[in-house]
């Protein structure tokens, strides 16, 4: 082969030598296919030949020849890394440039004759061509080397840090060399020939895959690390709640010592949930074929859910991990076994972590070391699998015990029975008394048995249920060998004695779990017998009679709600001869306030379904898997109809899908997700309709005489106004209210024609809600009883009660809404919102959190100074309305901002403007600390919030002497300001400060107390005390305040209650570019019962309006600010149903609750304004570092 190739080279003619050289590499590789060493030898000979020719001409230029040799030495080696590949590109680029420069120089060299020049250029050109061909061959070899490698990612992304930044950076560099757009450039050092284009595209596809895989792996690692951190914190909080301080690993006892046990447990649950979410993300990203990884992640998720109190879901994940081990590991190790056993014990809340099976398996392992035969190994494998199946059989899911309660006994104390508050004399006969005694005995047995069950005393549980509740009758009869457990008999006994259906289902599920637990002994029954009994019992939970009973009970509750009967004040009893679902007890009514009885029952039925699947999956076969699919679909449909009351339905479905994947090895059907998909919101049919449509409708109204047509037209006009109102909701609130008022009037016109028109009635109700007329909504069903059949009306009613801070009534109404329509998505959101307000995030908890987490506030001088720099791209302004005691609203909202950002308000805003009570907050947030006056505030927002709750009485001290018309004295208010602000002056403020007041000596013009003016003019450098006394002297409430040499001043809210525009104008006066300005404007509540004349009721929120000339109102300012700044202006405001006056101290708790609600609404909104605001401040932080 070598001689054949040499003859081929010798036959090349001189005039085609360059072209022949360019084909040489191709001939070697594709025709002759010699080894790597030989091809390098041939290349070297050819290169040396050309170098010799060049050297003979370029005498005294050894350095150039050596440079060429060095370049070719790099080109000879086939690259195995991306760095060596780049070296080839750099070398060939350098060679091309060098040769090009030499040719240019020699063409200008007059000492060489033309023949010599031609020979030199030919040799250099041939050398260049040869180098390009060698380089191209090496590049193709590198591409093939990667594509043929078993570990492509390792080659492509070698020698980089395992961070997303480095991975993306390296990918961008790879793209410069291998992206098809780059390799397609003609005659470039990285270009590919047509015949190799497919190789380049294949390589780039592989680069993309490798990048994605690395980023996925990185996310997985990050998720696991973050999950583990959350998990450690969750454990620490739990140990702290149990006062096990010596077990803290991450947290510091001093920092959390002030929290109550309840708060510490809540923190533990929160971090446990976060850990679970991170582990779940890691599980999604993890390689599905890495079984050990998948098992470990499921174990971790099970433990996380367990610590959060989600016992059922925790057990499901534990079961999933166990089944995965059983199905995938033919020979589980002792360590595998012990870890699974430990996990199952934890999620089952078992106190004993060892069992007979674990002891036996340890002994078997010791013996196994001495066994060698194949038969012995098979026996051992079966032993392991049997033991794991025993563990699974113990893992029957159980509902929360607190979820269920059996009815209390009915006491026959007198002949008087309370029937919904009405005393009815009834004389019970002997039979009724006997039945009552029997029922009481039955309930006593059930409650005692369930008590033993909860304690894990399973044998005692069976024994108690075997006791007679009357002669020759018991719930369980298992004394004789031929006795069997018949679920229909148990159901009949309980129903005949008025036991509630959800309690019956809970009892059956408990019996089934105990029977399959292998922790009891029943004469004449083996394990398989008990397993059969258990499965029948679980099927008994699905008895349709129980569903019908629950539905009847829900209907009875609905009738009570519909009639607005107040039935929560006292216990009441019914005659025993009444039908079962007329026989309501007070506990039924209270339980109905939490969730419908059908939903309670369905939760237990789903647990029974899962337990049936678990028993079937102990010996998986096609039939049992088919049955499992059927049951999973039943669970999906059931959860979809009741998920609002269970709270973890989507998580439950995900776990079930995961469990099904483990069992069957297939992805769960997409059908499971369809019911939960968010409803797409259709674009409004009025989106492109203008005033012409409104004119058209009015013309139609004039022409028609048909009542049905008039109803439709009125409804269409109302809908048109609703659309306008929604469009104006943010940018022009007053106009929005006017349009809702117009819509309400048109709905009312339609209702006058047809009082039972549901569309008109619901539209009318919605408008009432938007206009803050909550009491009217609640009482609307009196005039329109048919509304009680509408889920949407009950939702509106729930919102109305919520706005009145009556959360119990609100929750009761939303339950009714969901009972009527389980798929009402807005009702679903409302119940989630109410759960937040009632449970984990109450206003009291929120305020306590502010107090306890002040220690984490960051006071950084560099951040503070940089935020004031002229180079800073943003200029933040905080504007706070006036409103007397209602200033507690912005104080609460600002406390939330400080809590979320961990920074004082004075560091976040360049200017703070406040009118009246807003001025007090502005001054408080800008007051410098005595020890660190340059950048640290004296007060936090939460401290000002405390003052509003505790010390506002000093602002309103009654003027007993009545020497003036003022209702309150100035003395106590002045003393309070002196106590807090002392001799602090405007020039000392940490931020630009703007506080308006009215100068009565100058035609009641607006006078601005500002830090800017105070620093430029000492005569304007007033104390905070004088400034606030002037700015809070409310007419009729207090006397005007006099500042020496300046005159009398009154509250600035008479002219500027919303100072947003004033602050904007001041910033412009300070030479701030308008495009840099961002304004957060905080209101103190509005009351606009008549949007057509909003100023008419202004005196009910502020002061007698007929005594003063009010130049403009807050809504007009909002409109102007939105027009100028658009998204750079945010307005936070709430609406009141009834006016809350400036000095209404008794309404402070209500104001706190309304402010708390508003924060939760901001968090729950689609735009999530708070998170966006926090993100905005976080981005600003990066600018200030």
DSSP one-letter string for 132-198: HHHHHHHHHHHHHHHHT-S-HHHHHTTT--SSHHHHHHHHHHHHHHH-HHHHTSTT-TT---GGGHH
Q: Residue 1039's Cα: distance from chain center in Å?
A: 51
CA distance 346 to 357: 17
Closest CA to 220 of 164, 271, 303, 168: 164
Burial class (CB in 10 A: 0-12, 13-18, 19+), 138: buried
- In 3D space, the residue among 927, 941, 854, 940 whose CA is nearest the CA of residue 892 turns out to be 941
Give the residue with greater pLDDT, 1106 vs 1181.
Answer: 1181
* Percentage, residues of the chain above pLDDT 90: 29
Q: What is the pLDDT of residues 204-229, one digit of tens each?
A: 888 888 888 777 777 777 888 888 99
Residue with tokens 């180098």: 131
Tokens 């399973």 — which residue? 458
Determine whether 916 is an active site residue.
yes
How many helices and strands in the chain, by DSSP H and E? Answer: 49, 12
Q: What does the pLDDT read at residue 364?
A: 39
- Start-end of H helices in 179-260: 180-183, 197-241, 253-256
* Residue 742 confidence class, pLDDT cut points 50, 70, 90: very high
Tokens of 1166: 């689609």
pLDDT at 767: 96
Residue 705 CB partners (closer than 8 Å, separation 6+) = none
Residue 410: pLDDT over 50: no
User: How many Cβ atoms from other residues are within 10 Å of residue 846's Cβ?
Assistant: 18
pLDDT class of 931 with cuts at 50, 70, 90? confident
Top-confidence residue, 669 or 487: 487
- Asked whether the predicted pLDDT for residue 126 surpasses 90, the reply is no
Distance between CA 251 and CA 304 in Å, rounded? Answer: 18
CA distance 698 to 692: 10
Q: What integer is the mean pLDDT of 795-803?
A: 96
Q: Taking 60 as the threshold, does the pLDDT of residue 354 lie above it? A: no
- Element (DSSP H or E) covering residue 296: helix 291-307
Mean pLDDT of 243-270: 86
Position 608 pLDDT exceeds 60: yes
Confidence of residue 840 (pLDDT cuts 50, 70, 90): low
| Rounded average pLDDT over 63-69 | 80
Distance CA 938, CA 980 (A): 9
What is the average pLDDT across 330-357? 60
- Say if residue 759's pLDDT is above 80: yes
Q: What backbone torsions phi and psi does residue 669 show, to the nearest 5 degrees?
A: -60, 140
Q: Which of 591, 616, 1051, 1118 is catalytic?
A: 1051
As a whole number of angstroms, the distance between CA 817 and CA 645 comes to: 12
9 pLDDT above the threshold of 50: no
Contact 901, 1175 (CB under 8 A): no
Confidence of residue 1 (pLDDT cuts 50, 70, 90): very low
pLDDT over 50 (residue 1098):
yes
- Enter the DSSP assignment of 518: T
Model confidence at 922, pLDDT cuts 50, 70, 90, reads very high
Q: List the single range of 127-141, 633-647, 744-758 with lowest mean pLDDT.
A: 633-647
Beta bridge partners of 983: none
Show Cβ contacts of residue 356 under 8 Å, excluding neighbours closer than 6 positions. Answer: none
Q: Cα 105 to chain center, whole Å?
A: 70
Query: Considering Cα of 1111, then 1116, then 1118, then 1123, what sign does the dihedral take?
Result: negative
Pairing outcome for strands 1005-1010 and 422-425: unpaired
Lowest mean pLDDT among 291-305, 956-970, 1075-1089: 956-970
220/280 Cα distance (integer angstroms) = 10
Q: What's the average model confidence in pLDDT over 813-825?
A: 88
CA–CA separation, 455 and 934 (whole Å) = 62
Tell me the three state secondary structure of residue 805. coil
Spatial separation of the C-alpha atoms in residues 824 and 830, rounded to whole Å:
10
**Rounded to whole angstroms, what are the CA distances from 149 to 76, 173, 200?**
21, 21, 15
Q: Is 517 a catalytic residue?
A: no
Position 418 confidence tier, pLDDT thresholds 50, 70, 90 = very low
What is the average pLDDT across 878-898?
Answer: 95
Average pLDDT value over all residues in the chain: 79
In the set 791, 916, 926, 1033, the catalytic residue is 916
- Our CA dihedral for 278, 279, 284, 288, rounded to 10 degrees, sits at 160
Q: Give me 330's structure tokens.
A: 């033919």
pLDDT at 1022: 95
- 3-state SS, one letter per residue, for 633-697: HHHHHHHHHHHHHHCCHHHHHHHHHHHHHHHHCCCCCCHHHHCCCCCCCCCCCCCCCCHHHHHHH
Q: 502: helix, coil or strand?
A: helix
pLDDT digit string, tens, across residues 1144-1174: 889 999 999 999 999 999 988 877 788 888 8
- C-alpha 921/C-alpha 547 separation (Å) is 58
Tens of pLDDT, residue by residue over 530-575, are: 888 999 999 999 999 999 999 888 888 888 777 764 444 334 333 3
Close Cβ partners of 1091 (under 8 Å, ≥ 6 residues apart): 734, 737, 738, 740, 741, 771
Task: Give the side-chain half-sphere CA count within 13 A for 590.
Answer: 13
Q: Are 1185 and 861 in contact (CB under 8 A)?
A: no
Across 134-143, 557-566, 718-727, 904-913, which has the greatest mean pLDDT?
Answer: 904-913
CA atoms within a 13 Å half-sphere pointing along the CA-CB vector of 17: 16
What is the Cα–Cα distance from 1032 to 973, expressed in whole angstroms? 9
**Higher per-residue pLDDT: 183 or 786:** 786
Query: Between these two residues, 1172 and 896, which has the higher pLDDT value?
Result: 896
Higher pLDDT, 1075 or 434: 1075
The closest of 103, 185, 191 to 143, measured between CA atoms, is 191
Task: Read off the pLDDT band of 960 (50, 70, 90).
Answer: low
Gap between the Cα atoms of 50 and 18, Å rounded: 11
d(CA 49, CA 100): 20
Report d(CA 1141, CA 1151) in Å as an integer.
12
Q: Quick one: pLDDT band at residue 392, thresholds 50, 70, 90? A: low
pLDDT of 720: 92
Residues 6+ positions from 151 with CB-CB distance below 8 Å: none
Q: Exposed (0-12), middle (13-18) or buried (19+): which is 1014, by Cβ within 10 Å? A: buried
| Res 665: pLDDT | 56
What pLDDT sits at residue 415? 32
Q: Quote the pLDDT of residue 105.
A: 76
Sign of the Cα pseudo-torsion (226, 227, 232, 238, in order): positive
Label residue 780 by pLDDT band (50, 70, 90): very high
């Amino acid at each position: 082969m070598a001689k054949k190739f040499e003859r081929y080279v010798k036959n090349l003619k001189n005039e085609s030598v360059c072209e022949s050289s360019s084909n040489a590499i191709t001939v070697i590789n594709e025709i002759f296919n010699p080894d790597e060493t030989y091809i390098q030898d041939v290349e070297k000979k050819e290169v040396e030949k050309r170098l010799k020719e060049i050297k003979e001409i370029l005498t005294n230029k050894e350095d150039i020849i050596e440079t060429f040799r060095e370049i070719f030495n790099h080109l000879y080696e086939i690259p195995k890394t991306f760095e060596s590949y780049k070296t080839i590109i750099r070398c060939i680029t350098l060679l091309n440039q060098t040769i090009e420069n030499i040719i240019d120089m020699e063409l200008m060299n007059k000492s060489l004759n033309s023949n010599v020049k031609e020979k030199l250029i030919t040799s250099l050109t041939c050398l260049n061509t040869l180098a390009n061909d060698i380089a191209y061959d090496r590049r193709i070899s590198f591409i093939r080397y990667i594509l043929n490698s078993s570990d492509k990612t390792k080659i492509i992304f070698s020698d980089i840090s395992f961070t997303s930044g480095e991975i993306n950076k390296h990918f961008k560099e790879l793209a410069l060399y291998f992206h098809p757009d780059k390799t397609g450039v003609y005659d470039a050092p990285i270009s590919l020939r047509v015949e190799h284009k497919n190789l380049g595209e294949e390589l780039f596809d592989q680069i993309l895959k490798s990048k994605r895989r690395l980023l996925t792996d990185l996310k997985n690692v990050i998720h696991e690390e973050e999950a583990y951190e959350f998990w450690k914190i969750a454990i620490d909080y739990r140990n702290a709640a149990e006062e096990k301080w010596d077990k803290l690993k991450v947290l510091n006892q001093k920092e959390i010592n002030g929290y109550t046990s309840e708060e510490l447990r809540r923190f533990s649950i929160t971090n446990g949930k976060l850990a679970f979410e991170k582990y779940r993300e890691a599980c999604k990203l993890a390689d599905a074929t890495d079984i050990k990884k998948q098992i470990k992640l499921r174990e971790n998720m099970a433990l996380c859910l367990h610590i959060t109190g989600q016992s059922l879901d925790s057990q499901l994940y534990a079961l999933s991990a166990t089944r995965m081990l059983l199905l995938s590991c033919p020979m589980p190790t002792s360590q595998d076994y012990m870890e699974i056993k430990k996990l199952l014990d934890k999620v089952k809340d078992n106190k004993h972590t060892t069992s007979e099976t674990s002891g036996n398996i340890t002994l078997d392992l010791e013996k196994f070391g001495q066994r060698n035969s194949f038969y012995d190994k098979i026996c051992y494998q079966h032993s392991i699998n049997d033991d794991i199946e025993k563990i699974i059989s113990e893992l029957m899911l159980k509902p929360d015990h607190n979820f269920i309660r059996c009815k209390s006994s009915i006491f026959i104390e007198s002949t008087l029975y309370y029937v919904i508050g009405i005393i009815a004399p009834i004389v019970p006969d002997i039979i009724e008394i006997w039945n009552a005694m029997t029922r009481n005995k039955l309930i006593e047995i059930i409650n005692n048995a369930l008590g033993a069950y909860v304690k894990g005393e399973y044998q005692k549980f069976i024994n108690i249920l075997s006791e007679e509740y009357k002669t020759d009758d018991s719930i369980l009869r298992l004394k004789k060998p031929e006795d069997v457990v018949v679920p229909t008999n148990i159901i009949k006994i309980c129903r005949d004695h008025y036991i509630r259906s959800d309690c019956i289902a809970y009892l059956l599920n408990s019996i089934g779990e105990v029977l399959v637990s292998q922790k009891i002994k029943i004469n004449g029954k083996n394990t398989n017998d008990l397993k059969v009994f258990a499965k029948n019992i679980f099927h008994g939970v699905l008895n349709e009679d129980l569903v019908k009973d629950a539905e009847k009970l829900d209907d009875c509750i609905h009738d009570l709600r519909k009639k607005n009967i107040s039935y929560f004040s006292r216990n009441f009893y019914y005659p025993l001869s009444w039908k079962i679902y007329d026989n309501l007890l007070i506990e039924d009514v209270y339980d109905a306030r939490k969730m419908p009885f059908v939903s309670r029952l369905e939760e237990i039925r789903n647990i029974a379904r899962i337990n049936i699947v678990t028993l079937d999956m102990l010996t998986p076969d096609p039939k049992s898997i088919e049955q499992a699919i059927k049951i999973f679909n039943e669970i999906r449909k059931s959860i979809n109809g009741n998920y609002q009351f269970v709270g973890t339905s989507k998580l439950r479905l995900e776990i079930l899908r995961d469990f099904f994947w483990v069992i069957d090895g297939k992805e769960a059907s997409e059908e499971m997700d369809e019911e939960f998909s968010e409803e797409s919101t259709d674009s409004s049919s009025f989106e492109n309709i203008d005033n012409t449509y409104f004119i058209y409708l009015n013309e139609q109204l004039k022409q028609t005489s048909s009542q049905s047509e008039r109803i439709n037209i009125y409804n269409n006009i109302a809908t048109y106004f609703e659309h306008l109102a929604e469009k104006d909701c943010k940018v022009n609130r007053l106009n929005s209210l006017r349009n809702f008022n117009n819509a309400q009037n048109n709905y009312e016109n339609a209702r006058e024609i047809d009082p039972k028109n549901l569309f008109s009635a619901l539209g009318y109700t919605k408008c009432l809600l938007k206009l803050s007329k909550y009491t009217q909504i609640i009482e609307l069903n009196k005039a329109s009883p048919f509304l009680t059949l509408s889920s949407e009306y009950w939702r509106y009613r729930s919102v109305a009660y919520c706005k009145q801070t009556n959360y119990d009534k609100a929750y009761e109404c939303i339950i009714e809404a969901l009972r009527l329509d389980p798929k009402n998505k807005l009702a679903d959101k409302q119940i989630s919102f109410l759960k937040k307000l009632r449970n984990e995030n109450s206003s009291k908890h929120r305020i306590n959190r502010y107090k306890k987490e002040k220690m984490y506030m960051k006071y950084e001088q560099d951040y503070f100074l940089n935020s004031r720099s002229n180079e800073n791209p943003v200029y933040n302004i905080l504007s706070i309305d006036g409103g007397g005691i209602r200033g507690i609203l912005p104080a609460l909202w600002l406390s939330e901002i400080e809590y979320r950002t961990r920074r004082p308000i004075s560091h976040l805003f360049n200017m703070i403007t406040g009118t009246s009570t807003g001025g007090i907050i502005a001054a408080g947030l800008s007051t410098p600390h005595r020890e660190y006056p340059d950048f640290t505030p004296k007060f936090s927002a939460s401290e000002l919030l405390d003052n509003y709750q505790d010390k506002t009485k000093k602002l309103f001290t009654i003027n007993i002497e009545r020497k003036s018309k003022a209702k309150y004295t100035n003395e106590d208010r002045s003393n309070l300001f002196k106590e807090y602000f002392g001799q602090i002056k405007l020039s000392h403020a940490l931020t630009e400060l703007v506080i308006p007041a009215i100068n009565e000596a100058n035609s009641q013009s607006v006078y601005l107390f500002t830090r800017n003016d105070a620093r430029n003019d000492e005569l304007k450098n007033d104390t905070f005390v004088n400034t606030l006394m002037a700015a809070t002297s409310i007419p009729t409430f207090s006397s005007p305040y006099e500042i020496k040499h300046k005159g009398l001043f009154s509250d600035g809210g008479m002219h500027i209650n919303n100072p947003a525009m004033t602050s904007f104008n001041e910033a412009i006066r300070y030479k701030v570019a308008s495009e840099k300005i961002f304004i957060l404007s905080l209101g103190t509540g509005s009351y606009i019962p008549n949007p057509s004349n909003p100023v008419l009721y202004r005196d009910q929120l502020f002061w007698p309006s007929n005594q003063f000339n009010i130049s403009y109102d807050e809504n007009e300012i909002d409109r102007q600010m939105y027009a100028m700044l658009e998204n750079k202006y945010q307005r936070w405001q709430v609406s009141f149903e009834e006016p809350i006056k400036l000095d209404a101290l008794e309404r402070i708790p209500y104001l706190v609750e309304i402010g708390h609600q508003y924060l939760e609404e901001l968090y729950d909104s689609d735009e999530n304004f708070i998170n966006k605001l926090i993100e905005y401040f976080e981005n600003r932080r990066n600018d200030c570092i």
